[in-house]
Amino acid sequence: MNRNLSVLALLAGLLPGIAAADSTVRFWYHFDNPENPMSELVSKFEAANPGIKIDAQNVPWNSYYDNLYTAIVGGNAPDAAMLKMFALPRLLEMEALEPLDAMMADWPGRDNILDNLLDLTKAEDGSQYYLPVQYVALYLYYRADMFEELGIAPPETCEQLRDAAIKLTRDTNADGKIDTYGFGFRGGKSGHEHWGAFTLGREGVALDDSLTSEAGVAGTQFVVDLFRADKVFPPSAPNDGFQEIIGAFKTGVTAMTIHHVGSSNDLVAALGDKVAAVPVPECGGGRWTTFGDESTGVFSNATDKEAAWKWISFLSTEGNNALFNTATGQLPVTKTDSASWDKHEARFVEATEASLPFAKLLPASSATPEFVNTVWPTNMQRALNGEITATQMNEAVAGLFAEE
């Protein structure tokens, strides 16, 4: 009798239609808006996968990574989570992530992920630990009405951008004061994204000793000259941040600036068809723009790694990924969802996708936070104000990364 019960118990775990214990996947995410589609996504997934339950926890962004690292050290990490690329080196050092290569190789949705996204999110060892779930890439905004008025084409090179910016910088009401500046430059924190578009795309230039080369210095000098010689930036440019560059563009104080699709709906609300976008210009033989990322990953401590993979791959699948990104303000990662995406105007989605082939992440380096937060803005402001040369600025940045 006991032998028969044991056989029946074994069959219950093997045969379809005989219920086995559910797997529960603990998933951490961070959505600012409490009215988000996560509950709908969980319900849809659980209906399609009756043996898996999802425990989705919305963790506040301000403490997200502190909580995550603490949970990993304490042996209480989630099974899967939303993750950014800057965290990848530390998570690998902690041996916290499960490689996804084998699971991804058999995944039908792989070929529907936008070109270059999987390459951008690979680890330095060539393995895939992250699955993209949303993204942005920075591009050039321009005032289409002003360009049309002056008969100017959107710039494709740095030289064309300079020529356009000079023509667009003008006194429009004959009161002797400049009313519109050609370009809104972000000299404050995160302005490295503007500087990078003019500097890091140059042939052979990167965030290393190559910055002190002739080509590297030429990039920074180009930015300095736009401000000090050509005077096509507003006087406030050395200190301007996000609010200032977007505000100036909306009100017609500037005719061009650089940002991403996250600001496009606000700009369209203010300007309508007067705002357009193209990829950042080619400068010195190449192009460079910032890739803004968010992915998901499976943790090595997950009790059911296959179930965790099923969940995160579900979030990056056609339809589900579009629903997910209604809460992010960013773009879907699938080709099919991108083609039908209607949460941003098509021209900004197209400019973003066209920027992916040359989009880059900052180095996965301990020097990067200091570069972003202090070294770049301090030295850029000093260079714009004439306190140091372009060479001295680039030496400071190159020296920071050499110290790592």
Residue 1 lies in a domain: no
Phi-psi region of 386 (alpha: psi -120 to 50; beta: other; left: phi over 0): left
pLDDT tens digits for range 272-295: 999 999 999 999 999 999 999 999
Q: Is 12 within a domain?
A: no
Q: Which of 128, 61, 81 is nearest to 101 (CA)?
A: 128
Same domain, 168 and 132: no
Residues 164 and 257 in one domain: yes
Q: How many domains does the chain have?
A: 2
Pick the closest to residue 378 from 350, 397, 360, 398 (CA basis). 397
CATH of the domain at 30: 3.40.190.10
Same structural domain, 108 and 27: yes
Residue 259 sits in the same domain as residue 185: yes
Residues 51 and 130 occupy one common structural domain: yes
Residues written for the chain: 404
Residue 398 within any structural domain of the chain: yes
Same domain, 52 and 73: yes
* 374 plus 342 within the same structural domain: no
Element (H, E) at 58: strand 52-58
Last residue of a domain, one of 351, 376, 393: 351
pLDDT value at residue 16: 36
5 lies in some domain: no
Find out whether 79 and 26 touch, Cβ atoms under 8 Å. yes
Q: Are residues 376 and 270 in the same domain?
A: yes
pLDDT in tens, the chain (404 residues): 344 434 333 333 433 333 345 899 999 999 988 889 999 999 999 999 999 999 999 999 999 999 999 999 999 999 999 999 999 999 999 999 999 999 999 999 999 999 999 999 999 899 999 999 999 999 999 999 999 999 999 999 999 999 999 999 999 999 999 999 999 999 999 999 999 999 999 999 999 999 999 999 999 999 999 999 999 999 999 999 999 999 999 999 999 999 999 999 999 999 999 999 999 999 999 999 999 999 999 999 999 999 999 999 999 999 999 999 999 999 999 999 999 999 999 999 999 999 999 999 999 888 999 999 999 999 999 999 999 999 999 999 999 999 86
pLDDT of residue 21: 55
Is there a single domain that holds both residue 54 and residue 80? yes
**Same domain membership, residue 127 and residue 38:** yes
Residue 101 lies in a domain: yes
| Beta bridge pairs of residue 82 | 296
Indicate if the alpha-carbon torsion angle 65, 71, 74, 80 is positive or negative.
negative
Q: What's the confidence (pLDDT) of residue 117?
A: 96
User: How much is the pLDDT for 18?
Assistant: 33
Is residue 10, in this structure, part of any structural domain at all?
no
Two structure tokens written together for 16: 């379809």
Give the residue numbers spanning the domain of 236: 139-279+365-402
Cβ atoms 205, 216 nearer than 8 A: yes
Is 15 within a domain?
no
Contact 46, 54 (CB under 8 A): yes
Its pTM stands at: 0.91
3-state secondary structure of 22: coil
**Residue 298 and residue 370 in one domain:** no
Residue 136 neighbours by CB distance under 10 Å: 23
Residue 33: predicted pLDDT: 83
**Contact (Cβ atoms closer than 8 angstroms) between residue 132 and residue 293:** yes
Same domain, 122 and 207: no
How does pLDDT run across 249-258, given as a tens digit for each residue? 999 999 999 9
Would you say residue 128 lies in a domain? yes
- For residue 303, how many other CB atoms are within 10 A of its CB? 11
Q: Are 215 and 289 in contact (CB under 8 A)?
A: no
Residue type, 219: G
Distance CA 354, CA 116 (A): 11
